[in-house]
Structure 1
Amino acid sequence: MALSRRRFSCFYCAPFSLLALLGSTLVSLSFCPVAVADDVRVMSFNIRYGTASDGENHWERRKEFVAETIAAYDPDLLGTQETLEFQKQFLEQQMPDYTSVGVGRDDGSDRGEMTALFFKTKRFDLRDEGHFWLSETPAKAGSKSWDSSLPRICSWVRLKDRQSDAPREILFINTHFDHRGQQARDESAKLILRKIDELGADCDVVLTGDFNSSVTSVPYRTLFSDAAGQSPLVDTYAAAGPKETKGDTTISRFLGDRFAGPRIDWIATRGNWKILDAQIDRTAREGRAPSDHYPVTARLQRDGK
């Protein structure tokens, strides 16, 4: 299977700068919280595939905005969804201090959307990486099962955090569930849990993704509460925030103003994590959001065990 990985250095050599960001018309209520020593800043961002017929919201008109939104939050771990190869290449150019891992869902190389993930090269030592498909044959590139409308993929890395004394590695896993197949989403959630056990039984886990499921859905219950009422994973937003409201949607439709809808983009953890903060990033410029999904963020800290 072909893998795609690139290493970079010197983030501040990127074409945009913090000063430029501060001088722009960006508005956000959620990013730039007070830093905590050795915290891990995580972002999940469905950037909307770049060949979509989105008119004034076409990728070429908003790609710098996407990159600036990421830079403003400055994540240590970034999971992206709907990322085509040329979009991944653009982000690589804009974020030269990150390592990227991602392959196309259609062929395991560069065809089709990716769940490309990024991590800070200087902070993390890459120990392992890989991809699997959300199907009954997860090792088969381009495979799909159940009632899935399209092949769906998951990319992952195992990382050693150089800034932490914690002995356990981090399993960072990023995915995108099918938007039509209910059975496919249900089975994908079960597969994700099995793969987390297989790939990261001895790891502290971070899972990001667009799950195309509400917080009342079967996939949500599968991931966050089993039949015995236990929590296989922790929903960082639910753990850090108030009671769920209809205004907690992560679907933006490119609009900066919030409206009622489901929260379908999640950041989840398992292991020795303390959740410091979790937000839906409603960054906007002149009333427009950088994608048709709002990015979601979480700040985490390990307890060293």
Structure 2
Amino acid sequence: MASKQVFLKDLKVADLKRELEERECETTGKKADLQNRLREALENEENKITENSSCLQKQIGEYVDGKFEEIENKLVTVEEFQNEFLEVERKIETLSLESGEQQRVVNTALKSPGSDIDRLTRANGWSLAEKATAMTLALRGDATDILQTLSLEEQDDYHQLVKHLEMRYGQSHLEHVYHSQLKNRYQKSNESLQEFEADIARLVRLAYSSTSENVMERLAVQAFLDGLRDAETRQALTLARPSKLVDALARALEFEAAKQSCRSQAKVRKMEEDVEKGISNEADIRRVVNEILDKRPIRRWNGVKDTHITI
């Protein structure tokens, strides 16, 4: 208060009136009245500042507490998502990859984390940046290395993050390569029908991953027919019109077995004919030799008649 009295005491009347005018206070009266009036105005201003400061601090505290609580809830949700993602990974590791059906199960399980993120995003009202954060926290193993190649802005951009992950680990950008491989895939000379069918199924699934199962089956059957080495087998399957690749393989194996059986029977018949022909030739030779011997003149040697030898 002493500092204010000294301050006000040093002000002239004109200065006091100017300060009062700025505060919209009355400017009439003696110098002492002006000083008292300005002192009251300054004290009121100080009280208002103190009250506003206290109110502002209270509001800031409430806001910060609310944000901390919100962040804690989101961290709990992200932790739950991580647990779900780890559970999916454990399930994938236990799956067997011995058949195409089991492979489809694995592909379905691999897609589930993305759908979980979408559900969590809708449930929590996450923004794209928060969704990108959840995706980043869900990365495991070598996938985390991709974060080192991204800027902080790209890491917070969900679409950019998904784009880079798709470029590194996805297969959509390789579909044209698989299309070309499938188009030029023919059965090799030392390749069995089962091996050829398995590779056709693999290439079709890679080249047409977003296609329905029915369309994929038709494409696989056509690629299998076009790539067969044996023209007769290809013709037989074309007439049979199999609807599934596994049916085409079964028909091809049946036809190959039947054709092999026919070839074996033909070989047996040819061998029998050759034997019969050989026997007939031997009989003809015997007959000719006997005829020649029969036509030889009878000669005597020392009074002994030559003896005919019959073969």
Q: TM-score range by the shorter chain?
A: under 0.3
TM-score by length of 2: 0.22
TM-score by length of 1: 0.22
More helix by share: 2
Higher RCO (CA 8 Å, separation ≥ 6 residues) = 1
More strand by share: 1
